[in-house]
A and B are shown apart, each in its own frame.
Chain A
Amino acid sequence: MLFHFRNSDLQECGYARQHAVSKMLAMNTSHAQSSAKPLGAQARFEQALDAGRFEIQRCRACERHIFHPRQLCPHCGSNSLEWVAPSGLGHVYATTTVRLSPEHPYDVSLVELDEGVRLMTRVRNLEPGAIKIGSRVRMAIVHENGKSRIECDALEADR
């Protein structure tokens, strides 16, 4: 099963809207689980991803975005972190093609989101070896075998 990360309206309306939407989502989540204990950052991230939402953290104290998910801000040490929906856009920062099996090579890339954080991912709409550093990409959520992960597509202009 494959879900595209739906973010077109968020991109148009800018950060304030994103912020409001993610806050709303967070409220829904906390309402639904009001009796449950709070989750650690990894479980919280994975739960949102399973529900079709790609969210990263932002530190309320120093206002920097954070990925991978953590309990404390690695920049200032604050534990006051909020979950926000990123724009879903970024660029390829580094890339390699794994050729353990020469018949089935695959790419592993690092993407830097426009929010300034980096993550390992896969560019799924290009052949192995065709990815260029600097190419613009749009993130997507992939659900497979009961697990969810973030992948991305190179934007048309950069293909």
Chain B
Amino acid sequence: MNRERGSIVVAGAATFGCGSSPGYSDIELLAEAARLAVEDAGLRMADVDGLATANLNAAMWPLNVVEHLGIRPRFIEGSNIGGAAFVSQLGHAGTALNEGLCDVVLICYGSTQKTYSLARRERLAARSLLDPFPYEQPYRPFIPPSGYALIASRHMYQYGTTRRQMAEVATAARAWARLNPEAAVRDPLSIEDVLSARMISDPFGALDCCLVSDGAGAVVLVRAERAADLPKPAVHLLSSETAVWHRQISDMADLTVTPAAESGPRALARAGLSVGDIDVVQLYDAFTINPIVFLEDLGFCPKGEGGNFVQDGAIAPGGVLPVNTNGGGLSCVQPNMYGVFEIVEAVRQLRGECGARQVSGARTALIHGNGGVAAGAQATAILCHPEAL
């Protein structure tokens, strides 16, 4: 993606309507986040000549966005690999900017999956009609928890990972959320609360599963030379790498290894960094097993040791590795495709805008997105403060 290190800058970042936004539609929430991100970058909507977006309910979503925002992009990127889409689109946007295909790229997403009039179950049913899983649907897996529950069952079997260790992921996320005024859920949460919650798809209880919320997020990318004139401190995009291996859980070769094992090392290599250089980490926590497997696949610990790694508050505030500092999809915001919110949080951390949850001296951030009903699509991106270039 990069011609020269640091040539692409995330100049604007914003969220809108996180939590519950009755009375809005997906595109309306998206538009408000887009407006705020463009404003944050010190630009006007008319400056946007590149668009990257996706939505699980609409096959031609970029058209909806172009029309609503009244923009005329020269670069349009609508590839949809689920929740990992926006982390993946960072790289495509960076390439387009480096190649001079456009000057300002807006990456944006909005969803009212919590308050939308068509119930979530009906939308899932509609999706399964249009894009069926003929070899899995007869067995009625609860999508998406069951696929990840199968991953967890195998991880527990092979490596002795426990429900208590998975619960540590949920309590760490909640501890971060309690420091974030924007987080949807901020009540105290104990390991016992997680373990005693209603079971959903074994080994997951309700609190092993991410929130179902509304929300919108957007970021604006420009070339570094332009960023010099813009109001906010520059955050450089060092790399964004994508790997897709499968679609359905029965086609996942090894349930304990995701394509993060490919996207992560590629992203770190392109950024010229190793995991030891990373100050703050955003991991797509659709379920509590996800960050455990991603920490292994990305190289923060050996395969099978993710459960041990997260114990004793290791990824909570004050722990050895700050993970999901906004509260994650488990406690902050999760409107179906979470990746864009990870990017926004990483930008805010590297700018030093995070108040009580600020990771002191954060200079590098790793963002990892997950997509699909069975971890089949993964994207890893690395951002940094100018001092870490």
Most buried by B among A42, A67, A97, A147: A97
Provide the residues of chain A in CB contact with B141, threshold 8 Å. 96, 98, 108, 120
Contact A99 B200 (CB under 8 A): yes
> Is B249 on the interface with A (CB-CB < 8 A)?
yes
When the two chains form the complex, which single residue of A68, A108, A122 contacts B135, counting CB atoms closer than 8 Å?
A68
Nearest-neighbor residue (CB-CB) of A121 within chain B? B139
Nearest-neighbor residue (CB-CB) of A74 within chain B? B251
> Is A155 on the interface with B (CB-CB < 8 A)?
no
Contact B140 A118 (CB under 8 A): no
> Is A5 on the interface with B (CB-CB < 8 A)?
no
Q: Taking A98-B146, A108-B141 as contacts, is the C-beta distance between A133 and B249 under 8 angstroms?
A: no
Q: Which of A100-149 contact B (CB under 8 A)?
A: 100, 102, 106, 108, 110, 118-122, 129, 133-134, 147, 149
Provide the residues of chain A in CB contact with B250, threshold 8 Å. 67-68, 110, 118-120
Provide the residues of chain A in CB contact with B199, threshold 8 Å. 97, 99, 102
Min C-beta distance of B148 to chain A, whole Å: 9
Q: How far is the CA of A102 from the CA of B203 in the complex (A)?
A: 14
Bitwise, B132-152 to A at CB < 8 A (1) or not (0) is: 001110111110001001110
> Is B201 on the interface with A (CB-CB < 8 A)?
yes
Contact B150 A122 (CB under 8 A): no
Contact B142 A98 (CB under 8 A): yes
Nearest-neighbor residue (CB-CB) of B158 within chain A? A133
Q: How far is the CA of A118 from the CA of B142 in the complex (A)?
A: 19
Q: Taking A68-B250, A119-B250, A120-B250 as contacts, is the C-beta distance between A96 and B154 under 8 angstroms?
A: no
Contact A120 B149 (CB under 8 A): no
Q: Which of B106-147 contact A (CB under 8 A)?
A: 134-136, 138-142, 146
> Is A94 on the interface with B (CB-CB < 8 A)?
yes
Q: In the complex, which range does the number of interface residues on chain B fall in?
A: 20 to 34
> Is B353 on the interface with A (CB-CB < 8 A)?
no
Min C-beta distance of B136 to chain A, whole Å: 5
Provide the residues of chain B in CB contact with A57, threshold 8 Å. none
Contact A108 B138 (CB under 8 A): no
Min C-beta distance of A10 to chain B, whole Å: 23
Q: How far is the CA of A88 from the CA of B138 in the complex (A)?
A: 19
Provide the residues of chain A in CB contact with B200, threshold 8 Å. 98-100
Chain A's interface: helix, strand, loop or mixed, by majority? strand
Provide the residues of chain A in CB contact with B150, threshold 8 Å. 94-96, 108, 110
> Is B227 on the interface with A (CB-CB < 8 A)?
no
Provide the residues of chain A in CB contact with B198, threshold 8 Å. 99, 102
Min C-beta distance of A9 to chain B, whole Å: 27
Contact A96 B139 (CB under 8 A): no
Min C-beta distance of A64 to chain B, whole Å: 13
Nearest-neighbor residue (CB-CB) of A118 within chain B? B250
Provide the residues of chain B in CB contact with A120, threshold 8 Å. 135-136, 139, 141, 248-250
Contact A108 B146 (CB under 8 A): yes
Contact A97 B135 (CB under 8 A): no
Q: Taking A42-B134, A129-B202 as contacts, is the C-beta distance between A108 and B154 under 8 angstroms?
A: no
Q: Which of A36-86 contact B (CB under 8 A)?
A: 42, 67-68
Bitwise, B148-165 to A at CB < 8 A (1) or not (0) is: 011101100100000000
> Is B243 on the interface with A (CB-CB < 8 A)?
no
Q: List 12 A-B contacts (CB under 8 A).
A: A42-B134, A93-B255, A94-B151, A94-B157, A96-B201, A97-B199, A102-B199, A106-B140, A118-B250, A120-B136, A129-B202, A133-B154
Q: Which 9 pairs show the lowest CB-CB distances between chains A and B?
A: A96-B149, A94-B150, A97-B202, A149-B138, A94-B154, A133-B157, A68-B135, A120-B250, A120-B136
